[in-house]
Amino acid sequence: MHLDNENDSEDIEVRLLLEAIFLKYGSDFRSYSRLSVKRQILKMVKDQNLGNISELQHKMIWDELFFKSILPKFSINVTEHFRDPSFYKAFRNDVVPFLRTYPSLKIWHAGCATGEEVYSMAILLEEENLYEKTQIYATDINIKALEIAKGGKYLSRNLSTCSENYLKSGGKKSFSEYISVQDMDFIMDKKLKKNILFIDHNLAVDETFVEAHVILCRNVLIYFNEVLTRRVIKLFYDSLQKHGFLCMGLRESIMRSANKEHFKYLNRDGKIYRKVPSESFNRMVK
């Protein structure tokens, strides 16, 4: 078949690049949303002043240091402190009462990016007197983003937005009580870091590592295709304790096809679900 337009050629190049990356390095982006990953790849080509995707592939395959330097660009880190304040308000009202009944808590924040939302949850738990008994596992595929998250240092120019989101989320104090300002940055208080463990984890290929009471994976699945989304939801199901809570982004939904029988809404507007134990889930998601 004759391919007579550039888009067809680019789509082939994208597939070949992703397959080559998987074969060479084991990093699997083949089930990411093709539109979003293609957009990222084309930006890499432009930033590197290359002629096309094939030139980028050649450079990635033959230069491992280059590949490692450019790998973080495959992930999209759009986040901020108390992003979607209505979610945090819903979490305070509807999830916290259940969490009070447990002697200890494990929370997995998947796709944590640069950590703003992880610290937001830590603040919420601190204000609800739950943080001392909580272990937070914050994971991402982007090593550079994880390093920023560990440092907990962010640009002061974003401080007004953080404070506004915090108050809208039902914050009980002042956001300034949880930070220290240093030149052009603000740094999260050390007491918020003590129960957070930042871990390199790839939702596309890695398995479960914790039995959590709560899993947060907000605005991540929108970048995955249907097959990978199904795999990740199964991973979360297996990683949740009985009747555990799954928190998604406000634009995301898992209440379709087989998944809808294994989660129920706790708060529809906040996209907070609760696990419904079922022995049939393993068979239905295959």
Nearest to 210 by CA among 135, 266, 284: 135
Domain boundary among 38, 54, 74: 74
Query: Residue range 46-52: average pLDDT?
Result: 88
pLDDT at 3: 40
Q: Are residues 118 and 36 in the same domain?
A: no
Query: Residue range 176-189: average pLDDT?
Result: 94
Q: Are residues 177 and 279 in the same domain?
A: yes
What's the number of domains the chain is made of?
2
Cα–Cα distance, 67 to 70 (Å, whole number):
5
Asked if residue 1 belongs to a domain, the reply is no
3-state secondary structure of 243: strand
pLDDT at 216: 97
Counting residues of the chain whose pLDDT is more than 70, the rounded percentage is 91
Asked if residue 10 belongs to a domain, the reply is yes
Q: Are residues 39 and 103 in the same domain?
A: no
pLDDT at 71: 77
* 94 in Cβ contact with 58 (< 8 Å): no
pLDDT at 205: 86
Q: Are residues 206 and 70 in the same domain?
A: no
Asked if residue 79 belongs to a domain, the reply is no
- What is the domain extent for residue 55? 6-74
pLDDT at 21: 82
Instruction: Report the b/e string of 63-75 with b at 16+ CB within 10 A.
Output: eeeebeebbbebb
Helix-, strand-, coil-residue percentages of the chain, each rounded to 5: 50, 20, 30
Its pTM stands at 0.78
pLDDT tens by residue, 108-151: 999 999 999 999 999 999 999 999 999 999 999 888 899 999 99
Q: Are residues 200 and 239 in the same domain?
A: yes
Q: Are residues 165 and 280 in the same domain?
A: yes
Asked if residue 161 belongs to a domain, the reply is yes
Asked if residue 158 belongs to a domain, the reply is yes
pLDDT at 256: 60
Asked if residue 181 belongs to a domain, the reply is yes
Asked if residue 107 belongs to a domain, the reply is yes
Query: Residue range 234-261: average pLDDT?
Result: 84
More confident residue, 68 or 258: 68
pLDDT at 76: 63
More confident residue, 135 or 21: 135
29-33, 121-125, 186-190, 204-208, range with the lowest pLDDT: 29-33
DSSP structure string for 172-186 = SS-GGGGEEEETTEE
